[in-house]
């Protein structure tokens, strides 16, 4: 089904109750519907027409709420944005989790409820999420227009003795809290493992200890200022997020990024993926206490950081992107040199892969742990290597290509088992595909401009990029003065973390670090 | 298993010569801008800095390294870029009262480091993590990461300190035995970086704890963090944190 057919189906399906506008250039069907029809429209898009749920974007207009449910499908189907509005005084909406069975929307609704005070009727778990219950009064709605990002509410102090509610009600059951500070060099996050002894029965994660309210900070700033936030809120994948953000701004401004900049962007994005995957592989080796492999993978990661630093000045590729293209040109010769260095690293990564595949003590620990079934991956609209290891394959570079990805030859690796080992194999396989793309990018480099003029104007757009951990969506709205009035970031870690408790239930305690590492989750990326 | 041993030996020695010898390998550092005399163009260039790291007076630009977030806007896309240095010995002492000679002592031989993430973006932590890899191998210098405050001599903090981490950070610091040192790592930990100041986080670690050593960079490369630890241990001299004090 293509975008035009979809438009007809929607208009036939709900005559007079849902209007549809098809934007052929962006391949977006914008469906405006009544609140009463929302759940039904979303249900059919998700369950019958097989779209993924990308996220929910809430905007507070001068006198109305505007909610935007974003879906994306296969290549031809494009995007669907379902819009509903309501007067500010009426802040109750149907929950698409409950009414349409879209579990993928669960955390999105919880976040919106927490930050805007919008209610989703029937949602079973609202409350304590971004704003920790022990630190904030119920009435605080920090993303509302009137809330001052700088002055208000400084210096509230969370209660360090906060204890979660226990769900498991068996004799001898107790909760093992881990965090927010745990283990050696780890991000701050709180795991709650419920157990009756040896095995952990269920687990949950309390996130947002690192919430820096990046989306609120962006409001009122210029696009150049917000770019700093886009690159720095989750900087292990700074380039991917910066790119998604720039694409949104370019889309609003109608800027045409020059060919050379597009090719360089692809090259850098794949270099970042290669490096991040090496880092993820290192974490997996470390979690199984395989010392030599950990050390070898660590060497690969450091070498790729050096390749990045040598090519671009910065080891995490800061400061290269700018709306309209790139802030500086990278000489073709330097790219070729970086390619050669990366190729040498990849060769050693392959041999590490070969060794791991025949290390039975290693395989024993990661096979059949942390399983995500394909139907779960679909129901939760999981993204990135985690989804693809569970046979749910929707890589944005392939299904909704950007920056010229449609002209590169590459495979999208996938596996069926959905366990820790499948995720590791996907990481290795994707690293090889990244190299394939980088080779083609260097060959495609032609001399030319690297930056197009950007005429800022009012409007809104979504930037979407396949980041190393999966799909990243950046929604940007500019006011008529060209300043950011709404910024919303939907990250792969946020989406995949939602399913993590399903992989981490009924397991032996010592497997926990392994399950966690194979998910390659970033707390900074989740918390924003 | 022996396969892995052989593989390990074949890899050979990768470890940097630092601190004995300087490290010149390309890509080990993002560098920092250098204070410079720019004359008439100084004011416009200082304006470009989004974090106020550049201060302009009478055509002279002074750099506050603690605020630099490596945006490169003072070097890219400008007719007369600021000079750039590719070093990494950036760690300085925080404040006056804790002079150089008061550090060191019990910290000279071996230190146990507790790393706390107070809201970092992941990059600072990733660079700290590199210190354990074969290229930096900080164990050879007697530096060990510990997960418990009871064993820690040095508290290494990254991130601007979000309100949600404020209480936990204080509690951890209180639980450490004395004498102890606090090393703040990265622009966010030193000044709040691009996140300060807001209703959910402040301007860095010094608002919460007494900081001894500050390591600039966004993120600081592993060698700069290593320098910070060496400074905390009294094994390397500190450097000034602003170019106005004659730094770099
Ligand atoms: S690179 Fe540093 S000093 Fe230069 S403009 Fe950016 S933040 Fe300021």
pLDDT digits (tens, 9 = 90+) for A217-245: 999 999 999 999 999 999 999 999 999 99
- B227 in helix, strand or coil? helix
For residues A271 and A263, the answer to whether their CB atoms sit within 8 Å is no
Residue B39: C-alpha distances to residues B50, B72, B83 (Å): 21, 20, 14
Q: How many residues does chain B have?
A: 248
DSSP B16: -
- A398-402, A524-528, B104-108: lowest mean pLDDT where? B104-108
pLDDT of residue A432: 96
- Phi and psi dihedrals of B89, rounded to 5? -85, 85
What's the N-to-C CA distance of chain B in angstroms?
48
For residues A391 and A341, the answer to whether their CB atoms sit within 8 Å is no
Average pLDDT over residues A189-198: 80
Residue B69: C-alpha distances to residues A229, A239, B33, B51, B73 (Å): 11, 15, 11, 8, 10
Residue of higher predicted confidence among B167 and A447: A447
Partnered with residue A490 across adjacent β-strands are A473
**Domains of chain A, earliest start first:** 3-154 (3.30.460.80), 174-206 (no CATH), 214-519 (1.10.645.10)
Q: Cα separation of B233 and B244, whole Å?
A: 26
Residues on chain B touching A301 (C-beta within 8 angstroms) = 130, 133
Q: Cα separation of B74 and B55, whole Å?
A: 12
Ligand 1 contact, B48 CB (< 6 A): yes
Yes or no, beta carbons of A232 and B218 under 8 Å apart: yes
Residue B246 structure tokens: 């004659």
Is the pLDDT assigned to residue A493 strictly greater than 50?
yes
Sketch the domain layout of chain B as residue ranges: 92-245
Residue A117 structure tokens: 């005070």
Query: E-strand spans in A306-447?
Result: 321-322, 325-326
Q: Cα separation of A426 and A33, whole Å?
A: 39
Q: Is A364 on the interface with B (CB under 8 A)?
A: no
Mean pLDDT (chain A, rounded): 89
Number of separate helices (H) and strands (E) present in chain A:
18, 16
- A22-36, A187-201, A261-275: lowest mean pLDDT where? A187-201
Residue of higher predicted confidence among A137 and B194: B194
pLDDT of residue A251: 95
For residues A82 and A38, the answer to whether their CB atoms sit within 8 Å is yes
Residue A119 to chain B, least CA–CA distance (Å): 23
Note the CATH number of domain B92-245.
3.40.50.12280
Query: E-strand spans in A170-217?
Result: 174-178, 190-195, 199-206
Average pLDDT over residues B139-150: 89
Ligand 1 mutation target, pool B64, B68, B86, most atoms within 8 A of CB: B68
- Residue of chain B whose Cα is closest to the Cα of A319: B71
Residue of higher predicted confidence among A189 and A43: A43
For residues B151 and B157, the answer to whether their CB atoms sit within 8 Å is no
Under 8 Å CB pairs connecting chains A and B tally to: 218
pLDDT band at A347 (very low <50, low <70, confident <90, very high): very high
pLDDT band at B105 (very low <50, low <70, confident <90, very high): low
pLDDT of residue A166: 64
Average pLDDT over residues A498-519: 84
Whether residue B197 is preceded by a cis peptide bond, meaning omega within 30 degrees of 0, is yes
ipTM for the complex? 0.92
Tell which B residues from 82 to 111 touch A, by Cβ distance under 8 Å: none
Q: Cα separation of A3 and A81, whole Å?
A: 12
Closest CA to A225 of B73, B88, B111, B176: B73
Average pLDDT over residues B172-183: 90
Question: Within 13 Å of residue B221, how many CA atoms lie on the same side as its CB?
Answer: 28
Ligand 1 mutation target, pool B44, B49, B243, most atoms within 8 A of CB: B49
Is the pLDDT assigned to residue A119 strictly greater than 60?
yes
Partner residue opposite A229 with nearest CB, options B4, B194, B218:
B194
Is the pLDDT assigned to residue B5 strictly greater than 80?
no
- Phi and psi dihedrals of B86, rounded to 5? -105, 30
Average pLDDT over residues A320-348: 95
pLDDT band at A155 (very low <50, low <70, confident <90, very high): low
The residue written with tokens 């449910």 in the block is A69
Partnered with residue A222 across adjacent β-strands are none
The residue written with tokens 């300085």 in the block is B92
Q: Is B167 on the interface with A (CB under 8 A)?
A: yes
Yes or no, beta carbons of B199 and A158 under 8 Å apart: no
- A251-265, A510-524, B233-247: lowest mean pLDDT where? B233-247
Q: Cα separation of A96 and A116, whole Å?
A: 17
For the entire predicted model, the pTM comes to 0.93
Residue A484 structure tokens: 């950011």
Closest CA to B22 of B109, B85, B105: B85
Average pLDDT over residues B191-206: 88
Residues on chain B touching A233 (C-beta within 8 angstroms) = 121
Average pLDDT over residues B130-136: 90
Q: Cα separation of A306 and A311, whole Å?
A: 8
pLDDT of residue A131: 83
pLDDT of residue B100: 47
Is the pLDDT assigned to residue A291 strictly greater than 80?
yes
- A245 in helix, strand or coil? helix
For residues A488 and A241, the answer to whether their CB atoms sit within 8 Å is no
- Residue of chain B whose Cα is closest to the Cα of A290: B4
- A68 in helix, strand or coil? strand
Residue whose Cα lies nearest atom 8 of ligand 1: it is: B49
pLDDT band at A311 (very low <50, low <70, confident <90, very high): very high
- Residue of chain B whose Cα is closest to the Cα of A359: B1
pLDDT band at B16 (very low <50, low <70, confident <90, very high): confident
Q: Cα separation of A271 and A317, whole Å?
A: 10
pLDDT band at B101 (very low <50, low <70, confident <90, very high): very low
pLDDT of residue A513: 86
């Amino acid at each position: 089904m293509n975008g035009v057919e979809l438009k007809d189906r929607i208009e036939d399906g709900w005559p007079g109750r849902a209007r549809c506008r098809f934007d052929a250039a962006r391949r977006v069907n914008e469906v405006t519907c009544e609140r009463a029809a929302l759940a039904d429209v979303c249900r059919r898009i998700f369950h019958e027409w097989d779209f993924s749920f990308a996220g929910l974007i809430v905007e507070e207009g001068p006198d109305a709420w505007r909610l935007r449910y974003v879906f994306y499908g296969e290549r031809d189907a494009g995007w669907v944005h379902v819009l509903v509005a309501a007067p500010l005084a009426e802040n109750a909406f149907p929950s698409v989790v409950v009414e349409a069975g879209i579990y993928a929307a669960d955390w999105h609704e919880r976040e919106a409820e927490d930050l805007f005070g919008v209610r989703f009727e029937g949602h079973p778990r609202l409350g304590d999420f971004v704003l920790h219950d022990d630190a904030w009064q119920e009435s605080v709605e920090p993303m509302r227009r009137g809330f001052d990002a700088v002055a208000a509410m400084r210096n509230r102090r969370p209660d360090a003795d906060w204890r979660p509610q226990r769900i498991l009600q068996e004799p001898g059951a107790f909760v093992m809290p881990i965090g927010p500070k745990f283990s050696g060099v780890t991000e701050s996050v709180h795991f709650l493992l419920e157990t009756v002894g040896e095995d952990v029965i269920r687990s949950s994660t309390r996130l947002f200890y690192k919430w820096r309210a990046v989306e609120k900070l962006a409001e009122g700033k210029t696009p150049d200022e917000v770019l700093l936030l886009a690159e720095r809120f989750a900087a292990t994948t700074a380039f991917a997020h910066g790119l998604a953000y720039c694409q949104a701004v370019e889309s609003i401004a109608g800027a045409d990024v020059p060919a050379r900049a597009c090719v360089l962007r692809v090259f850098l994005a794949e270099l970042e993926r290669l490096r991040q995957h090496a880092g993820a592989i290192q974490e997996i080796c470390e979690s199984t206490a395989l010392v030599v492999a950990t050390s070898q993978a660590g060497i690969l990661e450091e070498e790729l950081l050096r390749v990045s630093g040598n090519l671009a000045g910065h080891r995490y590729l800061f400061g290269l992107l700018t709306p309209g293209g790139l802030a500086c040109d990278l000489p073709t010769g330097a790219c070729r040199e970086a390619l050669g260095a990366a190729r040498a690293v990849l060769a050693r990564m392959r041999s590490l892969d070969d060794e791991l595949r025949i290390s039975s003590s290693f395989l024993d620990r990661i096979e059949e742990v942390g399983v995500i079934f394909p139907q779960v991956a679909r129901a939760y609209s999981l993204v990135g290597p985690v989804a693809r290891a569970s046979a749910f394959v929707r890589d944005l570079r392939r299904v909704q290509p950007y920056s010229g990805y449609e002209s590169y030859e590459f495979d999208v690796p996938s596996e069926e088992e959905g366990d820790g080992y499948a995720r590791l194999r996907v990481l290795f396989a994707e690293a090889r595909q990244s190299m394939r793309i980088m080779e083609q990018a260097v060959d495609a480099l032609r001399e030319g401009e690297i930056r197009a003029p950007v005429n800022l104007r009012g409007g809104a757009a979504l930037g979407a990029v396949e980041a190393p951990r999966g799909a990243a969506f950046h929604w940007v709205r500019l006011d008529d003065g060209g300043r950011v009035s709404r910024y919303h970031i939907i990250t792969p870690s946020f989406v995949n973390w939602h399913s993590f408790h399903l992989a981490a239930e009924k397991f032996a305690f010592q497997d926990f670090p392994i399950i966690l590492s194979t998910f390659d989750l970033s707390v900074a990326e989740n918390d924003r | 298993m022996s396969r892995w041993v052989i593989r390990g030996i074949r890899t050979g020695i990768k470890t940097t010569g630092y601190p004995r010898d300087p490290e010149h390998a390309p890509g080990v550092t993002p560098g920092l801008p250098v204070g410079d005399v720019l004359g008439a163009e100084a004011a416009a260039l200082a304006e470009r800095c989004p974090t106020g790291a550049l201060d302009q007076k009478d055509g002279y630009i002074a750099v506050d390294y603690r605020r630099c977030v490596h945006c490169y806007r003072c070097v890219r896309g400008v007719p007369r870029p600021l000079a750039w240095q590719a070093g990494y010995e950036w760690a300085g002492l925080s404040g006056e009262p804790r002079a150089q000679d008061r550090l060191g002592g019990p910290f000279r031989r071996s230190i146990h480091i507790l790393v706390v993430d107070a809201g970092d973006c992941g990059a600072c932590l990733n660079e700290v993590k590199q210190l354990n890899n074969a290229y930096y191998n900080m164990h050879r210098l007697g530096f060990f990461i510990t997960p418990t405050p009871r064993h820690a001599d040095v508290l290494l903090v990254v991130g601007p300190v979000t309100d949600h981490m404020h209480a936990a950070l204080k509690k951890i610091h209180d639980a450490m035995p004395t004498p102890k040192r606090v090393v703040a790592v990265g622009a966010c930990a030193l000044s709040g970086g691009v996140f300060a100041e807001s209703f959910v986080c402040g301007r860095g670690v010094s608002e919460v704890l007494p900081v001894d050593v500050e390591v600039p960079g966004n993120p600081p490369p592993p060698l700069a963090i290593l320098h910070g630890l060496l400074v905390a241990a009294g094994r390397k001299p500190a450097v000034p944190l602003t170019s106005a004090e004659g730094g770099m």
